[in-house]
Amino acid sequence: MAEKYFTVSWDQLHRDSKALAWRLMDHRPFAGIVAITRGGLIPAAIIARELECRLVETVSVVTYDEEDRGQPQVVKPPAAAGDGAGWLVIDDLVDTGTTARVVRALLPKAHLATVYAKPAGKPLVETFVTEVSQDTWILFPWDTEAQFIPPIARGTGR
């Protein structure tokens, strides 16, 4: 199965994060926001501003690096969120759901929201903005830089 690429610009990430904030309006108030690092940091900051939420916490789960897809490890648990009751958890993407399952175990009563969702992980989140296919690789603005890309007709697959 060929991988597809979906490039997200800073502007688009901001618009999509703001759209997620609109969807979360009916679920307020939140005691605070837990950003899943690193991808959830920027969407969480945008959503915290839009929802006027001043308390922002983080949780860091390492699920893989470029060489290894081992067991997920919590390297920094959230300090103030308890069981998650009244808290909003934000991530950029739910892919297979590995990270979401770990965070859900830590904060079982939290509302989990992501900007983007793939089918395998979608059932684990309550709110998201955009669904992409499982074989789509999302290129976030912090992982990319501007450069020339040949036209699709040249067979680059992008």
The string of pLDDT tens digits covering residues 45-103 is 999 999 999 999 999 999 766 555 678 889 998 988 899 999 999 999 999 999 999 99
What pTM did the predictor assign? 0.87
Which of 16, 65, 91, 143 does the annotation list as catalytic?
91
CA dist 44 and 80 (Å) reads 16
Instruction: Name the band, by pLDDT with cuts 50, 70 and 90, for residue 132.
Output: very high
pLDDT over 80 at 157, yes or no: no
Q: Is 91 a catalytic residue?
A: yes
38 is in an annotated binding site: yes
Give, rounded to a whole angstrom, the gap between the first and last alpha carbons of the chain. Answer: 15
DSSP 32: E
94 is in an annotated binding site: yes
95 is in an annotated binding site: yes
Give the pLDDT score at 79: 87
What class, spelled out in words, does domain 10-131 have in CATH? Answer: alpha beta
Contacts of 146 (CB under 8 A, 6+ apart): none
Q: Is 95 a catalytic residue?
A: yes
